[in-house]
Structure 1
Amino acid sequence: MQKNWDSTLVYSMKQINTDNNKELADYCHYFRSNAFYNKSLYKESKKESLLMSDAKEIYPLKNIMLGKASLELREFEQALIYYKKVEKLPKIVNVLYSNIDIYEGLGLTYLFLNQMKKAQEYLHKNLALRKKEKNIEGIYSAYTMVANLYFMQDKNQLAYNYFKKAYFVTQNINDFEKKAIAVKNMSVVEEYRGNYKQALVYRKESEQWKDSLNNQNKIWAVADFEKKFAVAQKQKQIKVLKVENELKATQRNVFLYSSIILLILILIGTYLYAQKIKNEKIILLQKNKLNELNTTKDQLFSIVSHDLRSSVNALKTSNSKLIESLENKNYNELDQLLHTNSGIANGAYSLLDNLLHWALLQTKQLYFHKESVHLYSIVQQIEYNYKALLSDKAIVFENRVSKNNFINVDLDSLKIILRNLLDNAIKFSNEKGLIKIYTEDTETNFCRCIIEDNGIGMSANTISELLSDSELLAKEKNSEIIGTGLGMQLCKQMVKKNGGSLTIESELNKGTKMILLLPKIKA
């Protein structure tokens, strides 16, 4: 009755441990459930309630406490079950519970379950009983719950009326906290209605009640301090003895703690030193990698610059001869020079195009969008673009790709891959050679596409260099001229980005097979 919950817990547990009386044990568990509930330990409150029996007199109290704890734990469906059990019981005279407990619990439960009609029914029943009981604080609580019910349904006028009633009720209550809450609710409602002047008046009043509450808390705090001080003075001698004992224990443990701290410091120092060594190794590896990348970049620029300079110089020389042929009206040589210029320009353009796409890949600016692509049609387009080059060397081209092959790739990158591989096949094919592109059936999820020529081929060493991740190649001294290798690097990266792979089969003077594995469209 004094709401001293700690003492309640102590004495009820003593009773449970010292007596086998089941009826008394039930009430002790009920007292403990109440104590835990008021200390906001709702799970513990529920556990204590479940320890109560289903005896006729205690059964309603048990379910009400279970309902209250479940409501606070937001287990609304369970709370509803517990409250309904009590509501269904026949009315008993001189019982230890009131219908107020049931109606308030059911009203709040239905409110949280968003069942507004039922919530309204029970909250109004609760309000009627509170008025009949003439409990001022209970009436204030009931008005506030009904007001919140209407406020949640946007029934602002009804909500306002009940908030106002709650506000007037608090004028007869000495609880400063309730007064502050009621005034703050009025301020919020007035703001919602657009009556900002009145809302400001309520807000100022709310601040005044808060100040009063703080002053009251300070007074209670001073009284509590004086009480504690008096108790402390009485226990001073006991504490002095305890301090002496603790001092001895401290002296005994100082050496142990010092040793532990020293050990920890040594371990921390060792760990930090190891981390420092590890970080230095990582930095060194990163530095070496950066140096390799810079070397590759310098090599690339050197080779590309050399090739572009050679192409421009060849164009310059060819153009001089072109002018002389025009002046001499040597039309046969003129036609040959124009074809030569066209080949040089195409080679320079391909080099620059590869360089651009390689740079975009390295800086992650190249846009990739995978889609369903009909491989046969794309090979036809690439063949059309290279008809002139194929005719110049009288090369026969065969498109044997299955018309049923659909692959899941980025279209633009696929075209770049096929153009580079076909360009290389033409470059390294002999006059009147043969180039064919075909597919082979596989049982995997990949389409096997092969670009095959019967040209000059390449050695195993050259294949290894071409498939290396970071190699850029210079021109060889023999006839196996493979250029910068930039086109191959670009092809490999784009194939990988599309989820495929590239391999090479070749022998000197026996031709080359470029084998692409590209993901099929899944059925």
Structure 2
Amino acid sequence: MEKKILHQKSIEFKEEKNFVKAQSFYLKKDWDSTLVYSMKQLSICKNKSLAEYCHYFRGASFYYKKLYKEAEKEFLLTSNSFQLSSIKNFILGASILESRDYNKALFYFKLSELLSIKSNNIECLTDAYNGIGTTYIFLKQFDKAEKYLLKNLQLNKKTKNEDRTCTSYMNLANLYYEQYKDDLAIFYFKKSYETSKNVKAFDKKRDASKNMAVVEENRNNYKEALTYRKESEKWQDSLNNQNKVWALADYEKKYAVAQKQKQISVLKIENKLKDTQRNTMFYSVLGLLSLLIGGVYVYGQKVKNAKIILSQKVRLDELNATKDQLFSIVSHDLRSSVNALKNSNTKLTNSLQTKNYSELNQLLNQNSVIANGAYSLLDNLLHWALLQTKQLYFHKDSVHLFSIVQQIEYNYKSLLIDKAITFENTVSKNDFIFVDLDSLKIILRNLLDNAIKFSHENGKISIYTIETNTNFCQLVIQDTGLGMDQNTIANLLEDSEALAKKGNSEIIGTGLGIQLCKQMAKKNGGSLTIESELNKGTKMILSLPKTEQNG
């Protein structure tokens, strides 16, 4: 319904180029471009109806960019008679829900429900039911939540929308889980899992299998739980790969635009030089003084252009050096991983033929370790490259440190169990830090992954905070593993953006993860230090700024 109405409006206002572009970018989900062209249209707009659609575009764009206050402001600039008010009120309610103003959010969700019924917008009506039910969960009014979530499920089943039906089952399961009605919760978790098999969205498949893993763990069925958890990790890997493909496509698009803008700039400079030459010839009749001034101007332009070209060459050389370094790491480390995987698979084939099942299990675990190492290297390379080219988005916010450490521990639980490593999380539950959440998770994943990799079996890993009177929180990741000498520590902490090998031992790796952690900590206004001795373990000390009210 939304696409149909917007298409009609683009035809109706086809002379308004900025509006047509804003509408096109909105349908493509290019939120930044939508914001730019909708603002351009608003700056010259005299038509009230057209202005309302621009505010609608901006409100939706801010919502999907997680700027909820700005989204609310834009939506409130539209009237109650706006043609897409049912959708507008739903997104407005969702924005307010993010601010924890539950009663206000409920008001807009119910308004969206009434308008959806009036306009027969079934898709928006299902969203409204879901929004109302979710809000009632937050308000602890579980009977009302159940009523609307069941309506949501019935409508999705009626329209045979598998994606939305999968989400409906999951929402109902969470509702009953919140009330400790485990039988009903498990029933709907299973329904969600079965339905997820028919959907294409990797995130729904991941969440459904992850929920089943938790269900089986709670029932002490660890073998089944492990199967579901591995499936969840498989879908997470697929989702990561999909995101990387999208990120690469977006980078290529930006590169193409930059190249086009560069060509335009060159043409402008060429036209400017031609204009200068024509002016010089024209004013030459005025005498030697005019000719001298024109010559000085042309010379200044050439010097300026030469400086620009020289600076571009220096930057290009730096980028080429970085590219060569990346190729060197990829060719060396991935070749080593692939070769190890190849040899291991050969042994695996021989074990299958000889039915040596004890060695077969060992080789399978070895293959898993090699594959995980190669994946971690590729993931770190992507983030490091984005960081070097300033493509990584940072948004700082207040973060509860204990909860994030707990999440990271949960992700690595299977690896800790495999090596029989004791894990201890004694991070203070009162600590809040002001950082970018995504980059913090990358740092903690790398540090915990290293701690597991360099720990002996039956070792111990501890994560704790050190109380200080400063505005910084000190988080320590301590292991009882291999440790490192002072030369290795000095190389890792050297103030350089270049990558460096940490030694000849194959287990040591590239040092890329530590370099990435160090640069991301610096980007968040913090620092990373290392304390270690050979064969006595390692302490990775991460210092990050506290949230003001916690400082």
TM-score (norm 2): 0.42
Higher radius of gyration, 1 or 2: 1
TM-score (norm 1): 0.44
